[in-house]
Amino acid sequence: MKTSKYIHKVLILTLVVFGWSCNDFLDEVDQSNFTLENYFTRPEHATSVVNSIYESLRPTMQSGFNGGPWMMLEFATGLADTELGQAQNSLFVRSLINNSDNAYGQTYWTSYYRGIANANLAIAKIPEIEMDAAAQSRLLGEARFLRAYYYFGLIRIFGNIPLITEPIDLSSPEMYPDPATAEQVYNQIVEDLTIAEDSGLPYKETTGRVSLGAVKSMLSSVYLTMAGYPLQKGQEYYQLAAEKAQEVIQSGEFSLFSSYESLHNVEDKNQGEHIFMAQYAAFIMPSSWQVSIIPYNRGISAYNDETGGIFANANFVRSFEEGDKRAEEKEFFYTEYSLSSNRNTILPLGDYYLYKHFDEEAQLSTTSSGLNWMIYRYAEVLLTYAEAANEAFGPTTEAYEAVNQIRRRAELPDLEGLSQQELREAIWKERWVELCYENKTWYDMVRLRKAYNTLEGRFEDFVGHQFSYGPTLRERELLFPIPTAEIRNNGKLTQNQGY
């Protein structure tokens, strides 16, 4: 596998970035000759290798005039549009003519397996380091969570993938591994998260590192997915999902923001509703998606690059329930903005652009954004609990309360008096609306085998669902193609059907 060929090179680079000072260098013998045997000797080394695992959260978020890998999961829903004609990777996905040469898919594969490789090293080598036992356990818990996160993404995006849990190098017999079954990968994900639960992590973490709340939130999402397709484990796993989500709810550590503004306020990152995020820092490690969520060359931003890379499908926004605050101007979307040349002049934009991810300070003045990317937030936990509890136990008071918390913030009336099927679809609709453009909706579509018909306001089967602008989903779109380079380099991999 191509991924494995540069594991050690990538690891050493990230170790240098995160873990060494001038004094360290002067004190060590032959620092230029890093090996697995002579590196993992001190507590700082344990921290630095875990830091290297976090780095793989960021490459998929890179954005510019070629679009951005994260957009792949949005254009595949049929609920996103673009003005960026040269972003062929986006257009191929949006038009449902995607192929295995798409660089977006390659970025997911490469960056996630790089994170897995560094996690494998951490899990294997940190126990050999003499250090405080509690700190060691926490670092191993972080590594387990991150490995599970990357596998959770890969198995849903690509299907049967190689499952690698030990460090490998060019001489390893596992260099070109067989693909594992979905069951094997999900079992490993659950095992990693279950171990991470008992690793002594703090329930809440405002530094951006993994917390116990993040572990339980992800585990609830994993169980919810296992209950649906492709494993179809059903009621038992809906109950497990409900239990894990309820643990997060009952902890009292997290709560919904009172204002949607806090979702994209740099000052509120890693706090309140935010449970786990990909970390950025203005002028140090800035995020790059700001150029993609503003209209193409309309002169509203301080950024020179205004790409119009992605914005909301108008039919989707217009399908929101009447009175839904999330559809109001500058809540989740914006349809007008002032000109950078004259902030007293308001320009109608004609479409619904993504205000949910809009860093106002960066857009207006600094052109360097420290806004984090949302991975798990409390709203998702509430919706996971509501859905899972309704599936496992029917329309309970607790299920209603969880989804109604979301609706009250949106200034919508409480749901009540619904059948299990009616509540099921009402909760699905809340997930589609509340979590839109956070790389969540396509995963929901695949696990449910359902899509939302924005023109008719109803859910229908995934296969055969027609996007409002024409293309129709086929069975092949339940997965993305394995990148061409990976098929070529590892003859044991089989391309997904239809690609």
Domain harbouring 24, CATH code: 1.25.40.390
pLDDT confidence tier of residue 39, bands split at 50, 70 and 90: confident
| Separation CA 384–CA 386 (nearest Å) | 5
Asked if residue 272 is part of any domain, the answer here is no
The predicted pLDDT at position 22 comes to: 33
Residue 481 pLDDT greater than 70, yes or no: yes
Q: How many domains does the chain have?
A: 2
299 and 189 belong to one structural domain: no
The predicted pLDDT at position 459 comes to: 98
The predicted pLDDT at position 305 comes to: 93
Each residue's pLDDT tens digit, 355-397 = 999 999 999 999 999 999 999 999 999 999 999 999 999 999 9
Asked if residue 11 is part of any domain, the answer here is yes
Asked if residue 156 is part of any domain, the answer here is yes
Asked if residue 60 is part of any domain, the answer here is yes
421 token code pair: 């099927």
| Separation CA 118–CA 112 (nearest Å) | 10
Cβ within 8 Å of residue 17, ≥6 positions away: none
**Mean pLDDT value across residues 272-279:** 98
Q: Are strands 373-377 and 274-278 parallel, antiparallel or unpaired?
A: antiparallel
The predicted pLDDT at position 406 comes to: 98
Residue where one domain finishes, among candidates 371, 393, 419: 371
Asked if residue 178 is part of any domain, the answer here is yes
Asked if residue 423 is part of any domain, the answer here is no
The predicted pLDDT at position 12 comes to: 36
Each residue's pLDDT tens digit, 48-64 = 999 999 999 999 999 99
Question: What is the model's pTM?
Answer: 0.93
**Mean pLDDT value across residues 238-242:** 98
φ, ψ for residue 30, nearest 5 deg? 55, 55
191 and 328 belong to one structural domain: no
Cβ within 8 Å of residue 224, ≥6 positions away: 237, 238, 241, 384, 387, 388, 447
The predicted pLDDT at position 34 comes to: 63
The predicted pLDDT at position 31 comes to: 52
138 and 13 belong to one structural domain: yes
The domain of 156 spans 2-201+481-489
Average pLDDT over the chain, rounded to an integer: 93
% of the chain exceeding 90 in pLDDT: 90
| Separation CA 14–CA 276 (nearest Å) | 21
261 token code pair: 């503004």
Name the more confident of 11 and 330. 330
285 and 197 belong to one structural domain: no
Residue 462 pLDDT greater than 60, yes or no: yes
Asked if residue 171 is part of any domain, the answer here is yes
The predicted pLDDT at position 169 comes to: 82
- Answer whether 112's CB lies under 8 Å from 154's CB: yes
Each residue's pLDDT tens digit, 100-146 = 999 999 999 999 999 999 999 999 999 999 999 999 999 999 999 99
Residue where one domain finishes, among candidates 323, 345, 371: 371
195 and 327 belong to one structural domain: no
307 and 193 belong to one structural domain: no
Residue where one domain finishes, among candidates 331, 349, 371: 371
3-state secondary structure of 279: coil
Each residue's pLDDT tens digit, 180-228 = 999 999 999 999 999 999 999 999 999 999 999 999 999 999 999 999 9
- Answer whether 379's CB lies under 8 Å from 406's CB: yes
Smallest Cα–Cα separation from 237: which of 442, 16, 118, 389?
389
| Separation CA 329–CA 331 (nearest Å) | 6
Asked if residue 249 is part of any domain, the answer here is no
Smallest Cα–Cα separation from 74: which of 444, 464, 496?
444
